[in-house]
Amino acid sequence: LIRPDLPVALASGYVTAEIEQEALAEGARALIHKPNDVEELCATVQRLIAGSAAGDDSA
């Protein structure tokens, strides 16, 4: 990994519990379900940035 500290969020229109668990297990910090709204997207990005800045791996 070039930037292991960089939080990754995935967005998908097709999500099952299994897919979500696998994505998170592989290192994604968030999975955004489509369709989504701007508020949800912004809140997720803000949460990831805040967690990354604080050094929180659970963001």
Determine contact, residues 5/48, Cβ cutoff 8 Å: no
Position 59 confidence tier, pLDDT thresholds 50, 70, 90: very low
> How remote is the C-alpha of 3 from its chain's centroid?
15
pTM given for the model: 0.70
Condensed to tens digits (0 to 9), the pLDDT of residues 15-53 reads: 999 999 999 999 999 999 999 899 999 999 999 999 877
The number of beta carbons lying within 10 Å of the beta carbon of residue 59 is 17
Which parts of 1-59 fold into alpha helices (H)? Answer: 17-25, 38-53
